[in-house]
């Protein structure tokens, strides 16, 4: 009876040891692969953020270009795109300082929209500081 207990105990210990001998290396390999995967995902997220900031600058630039050409209808369309992208960026960003700066830019919407609706050349001078500030804010964002 004692020999049977010893054999059963030995088999259980060998079974657990075999399981651990197979499990631990796979666990360590999986953990290393997870770490390697995290770095590219952070890079992708940073690049997506930079694309979002670039699209914001593009919309502001196109608005300014159309204002300089006195195409007020197209400028108004680009203005709507700009403020839409600005609001999306302000909601998506995690950095509190950048969020505050983007929200400050969003407060200029009413004054610029009013200026664009009258279709007068002063719209160009009203939009220039907004575009300049947009470039300043989005270039330094990381």
Residue 65's nearest CA partner among 56, 78, 54, 53 is 78
Average pLDDT of every residue of the chain: 88
pTM of the model: 0.71
Query: Which pLDDT score is estimated for 105?
Result: 93
pLDDT tens for each residue of 6-29: 878 888 888 888 777 777 888 888
- Candidates 3.40.1000, 3.30.750, 1.20.120, 1.10.3470; correct CATH number of 42-140? 1.20.120
pLDDT tens for each residue of 23-67: 788 888 888 888 877 778 788 888 999 999 999 999 999 999 999
DSSP string computed for 21-56: HHHHHHHHHHHHHHHHHHHHHHHHHHHHHHHHHHHH
d(CA 123, CA 121): 5
What is the pLDDT, as a whole number, of residue 142?
66
The pLDDT of residue 139 is 87
Name the more confident of 102 and 122: 102
| Angle subtended by helix axes 2-68 and 122-140, to nearest 10 | 160
Model pLDDT, residue 51: 93
Domain boundaries, the chain: 42-140
């Amino acid at each position: 009876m004692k020999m049977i207990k010893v054999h059963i105990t030995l088999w259980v210990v060998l079974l657990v040891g075999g399981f651990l001998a197979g499990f631990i290396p796979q666990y360590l390999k999986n953990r290393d692969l997870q770490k390697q995967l995290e770095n590219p995902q952070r890079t992708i997220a940073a690049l997506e953020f930079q694309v979002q900031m670039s699209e914001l600058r593009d919309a502001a630039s196109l608005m300014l270009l159309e204002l300089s050409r006195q195409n007020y209808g197209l400028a108004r369309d680009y203005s709507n795109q700009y403020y839409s992208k600005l609001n999306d960026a302000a909601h998506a960003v995690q950095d509190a300082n950048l969020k505050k700066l983007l929200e400050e830019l969003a407060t200029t919407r009413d004054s610029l929209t009013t200026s664009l609706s009258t279709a007068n050349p002063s719209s160009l001078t009203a939009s220039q500081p907004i575009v300049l500030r947009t470039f300043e804010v989005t270039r330094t964002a990381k």
